[in-house]
Amino acid sequence: MEQLSIIIPTYNERNNIIPLINQIETVLDGLNFEILIIDDNSPDQTWDLIFDTYSKKENIRAFKRITSKGLVKSLEHGVKNSQGEILVFMDGDFSHPPKTIVDLISKLDSFDIAIASRYANGGVDGRDQVKFHRLLSKLISHIFKYSTGLPIRDITSGFFAIHKSKLKPLRGGYGEYFIDLISNLFHQGAKIVEVPYTNKNRKYGISKSGTNSLELIIRGIPYLLMIFKHSKFVRYILGSR
């Protein structure tokens, strides 16, 4: 099997990250993989914990970023430093169960990208502590589907596997990059599959997407703008239908 690079952006995930890495190591036992933790100089020093704990393991690396912080810049940093032909993107808070990585990569023999999906048949959004967040995620995915006409049910997942050769530059500041990526890949004929999974509440720490309704609504605005950019209407106006 080709080498896997698991890219995990972190900001204040000190209490989650070691148990998460342990579980990833267990489910990927026997495979050729590396784990890249991309940390934006977290005040809780998540990066330092990785440096200390895994100093002797070459396949588990932490990157401490000081300048031009942000989720998408961190993901790009992970891609640039990755050695694998297959990339897996996931959160560092335990909301993405490591066992789903195996389901995702098993699809890459026949597909270019496999998205872990809460809204595919058999998938569940099990985050019962953040009901409004859950509602917004679903709403954005519905708006995406009806505005773009693309048959993707979970566009805010943030958990996916892709052949590195198929990846495009990531554009956006936060999770809206995925709307841009999937829309571009779809129109270029990439083979995309959704794999059902159950999303969990984050184990420790607080959400960076927002901790109250107002923050979450503000966070959602770039998602809506990105959907509009890729909508059937704009594509029609621009003649790219």
Ligand X SMILES: Nc1nc2c(ncn2[C@@H]2O[C@H](COP(=O)(O)OP(=O)(O)OP(=O)(O)O)[C@@H](O)[C@H]2O)c(=O)[nH]1
Looking at 67-75, 162-170, 176-184, 225-233, which segment touches ligand X (CB under 6 A)?
A: 67-75
User: Does 69 help bind ligand X (rule: CB under 6 A)?
Assistant: yes
Please, what is the minimum distance in Å from the beta carbon of residue 95 to Mg ion?
4
**Residues in 197-236 that interact with ligand X by CB under 6 A:** 202, 207-209
d(CA 233, CA 241) in angstroms, rounded, equals: 9
d(CA 93, CA 70) in angstroms, rounded, equals: 17
Residue 133 binding partner per list Mg ion, ligand X, none, with a CB distance cut-off of 5 to 8 Å that depends on partner kind: ligand X
Cα 237 to its chain centre, rounded Å, is 31
The residue among 11 and 33 lying less far from ligand X, judged by its C-beta, is: 11
Residue 198 β-bridge partners:
124
Looking at residue 153, its amino acid is R
The residue among 34 and 93 lying less far from Mg ion, judged by its C-beta, is: 93
Sheet holding 192-196, edge to edge: 60-64, 33-39, 4-10, 86-89, 160-163, 113-117, 192-196
Question: Can you tell me which of 20, 71, 162, 185 binds ligand X, judged by CB under 6 A?
Answer: 71
The residue among 112 and 125 lying less far from Mg ion, judged by its C-beta, is: 125
The residue among 71 and 150 lying less far from Mg ion, judged by its C-beta, is: 71
What does each C-alpha distance from 26 to 32, 169, 208, 240 come to in angstroms?
13, 31, 27, 46
The residue among 95 and 231 lying less far from ligand X, judged by its C-beta, is: 95
Name the nearest CA neighbour of 5 among 99, 78, 75, 108.
78
What does each C-alpha distance from 47 to 17, 23, 44, 110, 154 come to in angstroms?
10, 18, 9, 36, 30
Residue 8 β-bridge partners:
37
x-marked contacts with ligand X along 7-36 as a string, rule CB under 6 A: --xxx-x-----------------------
Please, what is the minimum distance in Å from the beta carbon of residue 187 to ligand X?
26
Looking at 6-14, 40-48, 183-191, 194-202, which segment touches Mg ion (CB under 5 A)?
A: 194-202
User: Does 93 help bind Mg ion (rule: CB under 5 A)?
Assistant: yes
Cα 108 to its chain centre, rounded Å, is 16
User: Does 154 help bind Mg ion (rule: CB under 5 A)?
Assistant: no
**Residues in 124-183 that interact with ligand X by CB under 6 A:** 127, 130, 133
Residues forming contacts to Mg ion in the complex (CB under 5 A) are 91, 93, 95, 202
